[in-house]
Structure formats: structure tokens, C-alpha cells
């Protein structure tokens, strides 16, 4: 960039470095942004943004893998019915109406399987 500042032509500089003229102009613009002469993201900010985007992509991949892993455990939400409002139990527990054993005196269970507090 010092050569451009000194008055050397961008085309001459690009030819000497065997790169395109557009690359020289891009470097010059980024240098001006880094020095605060033009608006835009500085080189440090661009690097930080790239790291953040990579981390977000990693986290999204992990989240998808976790969702795939728990799907067989939880089952499809279409297979599940909402709990009964009175008992808080799902359909399989409601259907069985399993009584609370009499040996549960600390619950003081009644015959309807509901605690009598």
C-alpha cells in the first residue's frame, strides 16, 4: 500500500506482483477501512465475524444431531395425547387405572387412586 501512496500506478503494481488490478484496489480499500478513512468492517472485525459464523454452523450441526438422537426416545408428537386435566396422566396410565397399593400408607390413598390429603 505504501507504493500506491507513493504514487505508483495500481496496474504497474499488479503486473509486478502477478495479480489482478482489482486485487490491488480491494487491498487499498481494506487498508483505508482499517485506518478509519472509509466506512466498513475492519480486518479484525471480519475475522471475528468469520469465527462467529463457523461457531454458529457447528452449533447448528450439533443441534440437528441432538434432535435426531432424541427423536426415537421421545417418539412422534402425533402419537402422544395431552395429559388428562384431572389426573395429569397420559392415555396409557388413564386406561390402566392402576390402583395405588394399600402398602402406601404415607400417601393415604383412597380407592379411587387419588391421595386424600
Is the model's pLDDT at 28 over the cut of 70?
yes
Is the model's pLDDT at 76 over the cut of 60?
no
pTM of the model: 0.50
Domain ranges of the chain: 1-40
Across 61-79, average pLDDT: 83
| Residue 115 β-bridge partners | 109
Q: In the prediction, which pLDDT does 4 show?
A: 79
DSSP conformation class of 66 = H
Is the model's pLDDT at 109 over the cut of 70?
no
Which tens digit of pLDDT belongs to each residue from 89-99? 555 555 555 55
pLDDT higher for 21 or 115? 21
Is the model's pLDDT at 18 over the cut of 60?
yes
Across 65-90, average pLDDT: 72
Q: What Cα–Cα distance (Å) separates residue 8 from each residue in 13, 15, 26, 38, 116?
A: 7, 12, 16, 21, 94
Amino acid at each position: 500500500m505504501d507504493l500506491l501512496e507513493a504514487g505508483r500506478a495500481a496496474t504497474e503494481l499488479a503486473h509486478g506482483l502477478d495479480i489482478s488490478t482489482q486485487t490491488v484496489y480491494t487491498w487499498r480499500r481494506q487498508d483505508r477501512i482499517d485506518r478509519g478513512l472509509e466506512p466498513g468492517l475492519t480486518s479484525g472485525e471480519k475475522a471475528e465475524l468469520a469465527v462467529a459464523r463457523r461457531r454458529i454452523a457447528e452449533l447448528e450441526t450439533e443441534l440437528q444431531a441432538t434432535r435426531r438422537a432424541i427423536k426415537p426416545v421421545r417418539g412422534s408428537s402425533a402419537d402422544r395425547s395431552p395429559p388428562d386435566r384431572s389426573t395429569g396422566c397420559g392415555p396409557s396410565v388413564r386406561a390402566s387405572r392402576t390402583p395405588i397399593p394399600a402398602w402406601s400408607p404415607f400417601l393415604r390413598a383412597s380407592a379411587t387412586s387419588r391421595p386424600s390429603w
